[in-house]
Amino acid sequence: MAIYAPGQNYALPVPVLAPEDELYYSPTNFRTGPSITEDVPSPMTYSQRLENIGHLLRTQPKQYPAEFPDASIVPWSGGDPDTDPEAWIFQLQPEDIAEIDAALKGFSGPKIKALWDDAVNHDGILILRGLDPKRYSLHQNIVLYVGITSYVSVHRAAQTITNDLLVHLRDSGIITGESQYRREQFSGSAQPFHTDFAPIMAMYVVETPLQGGRCMWASGLRVYQELVASRPEVIEVLESVDDHGNPLEAITPRPVLYWDDGHPFFFFSRRQLTGTPLQARPQSIPQLTDLQADALDAVQFAALKHCIRHVPVRGEIQVIDNLAILHSREQFVNGQGRDRHLIRLWLKNEQLAHKTLHVELQKVFNDVFRPDRLKESIWELRGYNSWETLVDESGHSNT
């Protein structure tokens, strides 16, 4: 455990990046200037800031539990040889696909429900493979996707300012025109680790990019354990609520790290905390302190250390326990007829309902699953969302 004392001189190593992270940390993926404004933090500024704020850190951090033997989710690490991402993949067999082809309006999915029940009680990730999106129209693909994921949950959230139930994640520069006007998740830039605004996130891979775009998943419990072992002083910062007393109802102070029945989990959007080139952090509330910025970066690099890097396959459906897994992705490049296109759903079901009882999260979930919003919801079948969605930050997700 590293302890930093006032007046102590010490040198902190720059986090070592694996060769596969070079694309993720292309110089175009983070901005210069104050490090607290970086949406994808650079290793160098993280180390430099940590060196500068050593005198602010607790010399004797609070003690936190590190082991959770009764936790349903396993704290896996991408660097552990026992971690087997292949176990997350279920290959649809010819008879399954024949059943889908025969029905398009109904799919007997007890197998899928059983697989999700197992995933939510183990690693938190399920991948279904075997579909070929090129065999179907976009409308048919959406019907298939919604039908299959209904065996995980029939409760779908309104994800955007225009109440879209589906979000088409693709480089939308052709729609927004000027690249500086579109949100980062609708571009080819890398995304920081974060969680989305629902208990479950599903993604259907309609098309993959020419280069890059790997999904990066990290066990939230393993990230927490890494922080307890290497940066225990940031835990207190992450679980605290910065109640600045701002009267704006749209801004609700809440922590980054939560506890459920004695088990920790993360729920946050880094970009909503740091701001983005499109939408800066509001000036009406205090800016992030160095300690808060350091804590966010510590989460990012702990997740990067223990993540699995997954190459999406056209036609796969990913289902993620959003309260157990942090996710991000590499930057990507389209071309030669390859235009990355993922369709996202936000879902909830009773298996994860207990975690929505947190007062801090109740407003979040109540809003995206609000009956009046769902009554006015939109099924976007064109393959891209409205201009308002592409440039508005109110409907989060960095995926």
- Across 241-252, b (16+ Cβ under 10 Å) vs e yields eeeeeeeeeeee
d(Cα 204, Cα 383) in Å, to the nearest integer?
12
Does 33 have pLDDT greater than 50?
no
Q: What is the pLDDT of residue 110?
A: 76
Give residue-wise pLDDT tens across range 299-342. Answer: 999 999 999 999 999 999 999 999 999 999 998 888 888 989 99
Encode pLDDT of 182-231 as tens digits: 566 677 888 899 999 999 999 999 999 999 999 999 999 999 999 999 99
pLDDT value at position 8? 33
Q: Within 13 Å, how many C-alpha atoms sit on residue 9's CB side?
A: 0
Assess whether pLDDT exceeds 60 at residue 268.
yes
Q: Is the pLDDT of residue 6 over 70?
A: no
Average pLDDT over residues 71-88: 81
Encode pLDDT of 343-384 as tens digits.
Answer: 999 999 876 666 666 777 888 888 999 999 999 988 988 877
Residue 156 resides in a domain = yes
Asked if the structure places residue 363 within a domain, the reply is yes
- Domain assignment present for 370: yes
Q: Is 8 part of any domain?
A: no
Residue 245 pLDDT greater than 50, yes or no: no
9 pLDDT exceeds 70? Answer: no
340 or 14: which leads in pLDDT: 340
Higher-scoring residue by pLDDT: 237, 243: 237
CA torsion 145-328-243-363 (nearest 10°) is: 0
Q: Determine the Cα–Cα distance for residues 73 and 120; give it in Å rounded to an integer.
A: 7
Is 11 within the bounds of a domain? no
pLDDT, tens digit (0-9, with 9 covering 90-100), for 94-123: 777 666 666 544 455 677 888 888 888 788
Residue 260: which domain range?
Answer: 20-59+81-394
pLDDT for res 94: 75
Residue-level pLDDT at 7: 32
Q: What is the mean pLDDT of the chain?
A: 78
pLDDT value for 46 = 80
CATH number at residue 29: 3.60.130.10
Residue 226 within a domain: yes
Number of domains in the chain: 1
pLDDT at 113: 83
Q: Does residue 161 fall inside a structural domain?
A: yes
Residues 375 and 165: their CA atoms lie apart, in Å, by: 11
73 has a pLDDT exceeding 70:
yes
Mean pLDDT of 19-48: 56
Asked if residue 75 is part of any domain, the answer here is: no
What's the confidence (pLDDT) of residue 243?
56
